[in-house]
Amino acid sequence: MKIVDARANRPQYLPETASQTAGPYVHIGLAPGAAGFRIFDRELGWDIAGPNAAGERIRVEGLVIDGTGSPVKDVLIEVWQANAAGIYAHPEGGGEVEDGFRGWGRVITDFETGEWGFDTVKPGPVRARGRMVSGVSQRVRDSHPDWQGRAQEDNVPMAPHLNLWIVARGINIGLNTRMYFDDEAAANAADPVLNLIEWERRRATLIARRTVRDGTPVYRFDIRLQGEDETVFFDV
């Protein structure tokens, strides 16, 4: 592998490996049980919260809908979330999480209907970006104190949300989006990410609707890849 990138503006960096579609048979690799066979002792991503997580137990359900209005039946979604205290299960996630809480899940659709769903706990608000700059940028900012208050939104916590990553046949590079909760209206109104979206009516595409079924809160979140009310996707 060449260490020097040919493009003059990125000397010394390796170029990122290009994405390719996950294809129609993504289940073989990432959810072989759904492909129709058993191979691994343990499939990954089916238990997001574990038995010990604090907070409200919820279910999340939806469809991914293509530009013709049809459900996408071969999609795979990964979810990444904080626990009820707003902490991620990661060395830099802001603290300790409950034993067994991973905050990561993998869900596929029903091949006949395209419906997907998973059980988890409702996350808490996540701490603000703060001064999340470092290295050279941090040194520049530290030497110019007037830059410290540059971005007001850096100090506002993020409303409770799930981070979603969507791959499928026909999707050339995974799509990142977020799901927020409609019973968090005040937090959503202050959320620095929702407020980045210039078109206010598009913010609604990221907000799931709460109902209660058999005593369990169920949030409905349909994702529209294209067309009217196209879901907001992020370049993260």
Partner 1 sequence: MTPAEYYQRDRRLHPPALTPDYKTSVARSPRLSLISLQGSMSEITGPTFGHGDISAIDNDLIKNYAKDGDPIGERIIVHGRVLDENARPVPNTLVEVWQANAGGRYRHKKDSYLAPIDPNFGGCGRTITDDNGYYFFRTIKPGAYPWRNWVNNWRPAHIHVSVFGHAFCQRLITQLYFEGDPLIPICPIVQTIPDPDAIDRLTAKLDMNAGVPLDSIAYRFDIVLRGRRSTMFENRLEGN
| Residue 133 contacts partner 1 per CB under 8 A | yes
| Torsion of the alpha carbons at 63, 67, 73 and 77, rounded to the nearest 10 | -60
**Of the candidates 47, 61, 127, 195, which one interacts with partner 1 according to CB under 8 A?**
127
The footprint of partner 1 on residues 5-44 (CB under 8 A) is 6, 10, 12-30, 32, 35-37, 39-42, 44
Q: Which of 58, 84, 121, 167 binds partner 1 (CB under 8 A)?
A: 167
- From 174, 210, 220, 222, residue interacting with partner 1 (rule: CB under 8 A): 174
| Residue 211 CB, nearest approach to partner 1 (Å) | 26
- The string of DSSP letters for 146-193 reads GGTTS-GGGGSPBPSEEEEEEE-TT-SSPEEEEEEETT-HHHHHH-TT
| Phi, psi angles (nearest 5°) of residue 54 | -75, 170
User: Is the separation of the CB atoms in 139 and 133 below 8 Å?
Assistant: no
Q: Is 169 in the site for partner 1 (CB under 8 A)?
A: yes
Q: Are 161 and 180 in contact (CB under 8 A)?
A: yes
Nearest one of 161, 155, 162 to 184, comparing CA atoms = 161
Which is nearer to partner 1, 42 or 213 (by Cβ)?
A: 42
The least CB distance from residue 122 to partner 1, in Å, is 15
Q: Per rule CB under 8 A, is residue 63 in the interface with partner 1?
A: no
Strand (E) or helix (H) holding 32: helix 32-35
58 vs 164 by CB, closer to partner 1? 164
- Cβ 87 vs Cβ 101: under 8 Å: no
Kindly identify the residues of this chain, within the stretch 93-112, that bind partner 1 according to CB under 8 A.
Answer: 93-94, 102-104, 111
Minimal distance, residue 62 CB to partner 1, in Å: 16
Q: Provide the minimum distance between the beta carbon of 153 and partner 1 in the complex, in angstroms, as a whole number.
A: 10
Q: Tell me if 122 contacts partner 1 by CB under 8 A.
A: no
Q: How far apart are CA 84 and CA 193, in angstroms?
A: 19
Binder of partner 1 out of 171, 179, 187, 208 (CB under 8 A): 171
| Full DSSP string of 68-90 | TS-B-TT-EEEEEE--TTS--SS
Q: What is the DSSP letter of 40?
A: S
Residues 194-223 that bind partner 1 (CB under 8 A): 196-197, 202
User: Would you count residue 227 as binding partner 1 (CB under 8 A)?
Assistant: yes
Closest CA to 152 of 196, 110, 117: 196
> Contact between 188 and partner 1 (CB under 8 A)?
no
Instruction: Decide: is 170 part of the binding site for partner 1 (CB under 8 A).
Output: yes
